[in-house]
Amino acid sequence: MDDGFVLGTLSAITWGLADVLVTYVSRRGGFFKTLLLSQIFGLALLVVVALAVNDLPGPSTAQVLALVALGPVAVAAYAGFYRALELGPIAIVSPIASANGAVVVLLAVLVLDESLTAMQALGCILVLGFIVLAAREPSSEPGEGNGNGIRLALIASIAFGGYLFVLATMSDELGWLVPILIARSVTVAIVSAVAVARPPPSPGALGRLGVLGCVAAGLLDACGYLVYNRGAEVGEVAITSAAASAYPVIPILVGLFALRERIAWHQLVGVGGVLCGMVVLSLG
């Protein structure tokens, strides 16, 4: 079994759980507070890991500048996604955002000239294709909040795709930790500056449980990136990203059974197709 597939699947689990926590917390205390606290705690974990490793490659000036430039992209991706989770149903928003895997796979094949076996290519097509089906809105007319959430999820998906691709490609030279550590530091700096200058209004206080949820979400999100980057380092970027893009299975199930969101039949088919695609990927 491809190491990139295994590590990509682990990142999918952590990201899926993080999405669930972000949804619960952002709907109570607002997306911006959730974003700020979760990013800070995620960065704290990365710093601890960096101190524990204590032997990290030094990036060049060009690499640092490229990672710094990723900061605004990451802010757009996270802010759009967290706001989308606050507004729209998680069972729809999460799979739409996960379509960033299609962007990464496309860039990996076109820019990095990675080659896929026939089985791996079929697995990628199944995973990404059924994610699109799972993300497709039901025929009923959505509310205004749902529509805004879906549009923001689409924007976040594109931003996440470029963000993940750059992180994955830089992991070849800088390893699995340095790229995300620098990019996340810039992201926290930007969000913190916005919080000081003019924070968006929020619906209410987070409370103790909300803060704990932010801590858990930030740690899970950071762990997902560490595992994802490691998978891209030891395996193929396209395979790792395709496996990782299956993470909306968890939010969809939570939305269906815990939040009792209405899920159309084609979305359920999409979830089943994603699981089948992951099996095909594991056999490639």
Residue 284's pLDDT is 64
Percentage of residues in the chain having pLDDT higher than 90: 42
What number of CA atoms fall less than 13 Å from residue 226's CA on the CB side? 18
- Residue closest to 261 by CA, chosen among 31, 79, 90: 90
pLDDT, one tens digit per residue, over 132-156 is: 887 776 665 455 556 678 789 889 9
Other C-beta atoms lying within 10 Å of the C-beta of residue 262 = 12
Six-digit token string for 230: 């490691």
* DSSP secondary structure string for all residues of 53-110: H---PPPPHHHHHHHHHHHHHHHHHHHHHHHHHHHS-HHHHHHHHHTHHHHHHHHHHH
Six-digit token string for 140: 């009923």
Distance, CA of 67 to CA of 184 (rounded, Å): 9
Distance, CA of 200 to CA of 205 (rounded, Å): 13
Q: 92 pLDDT exceeds 70? A: yes
Please state, rounded to an integer, the average pLDDT across all residues of the chain: 86
- Residue closest to 278 by CA, chosen among 109, 120, 165, 92: 120
73 CB contacts (<8 Å, ≥6 apart)? 159, 162, 163
pLDDT, one tens digit per residue, over 254-284 is: 988 898 887 788 878 888 888 788 778 766 6
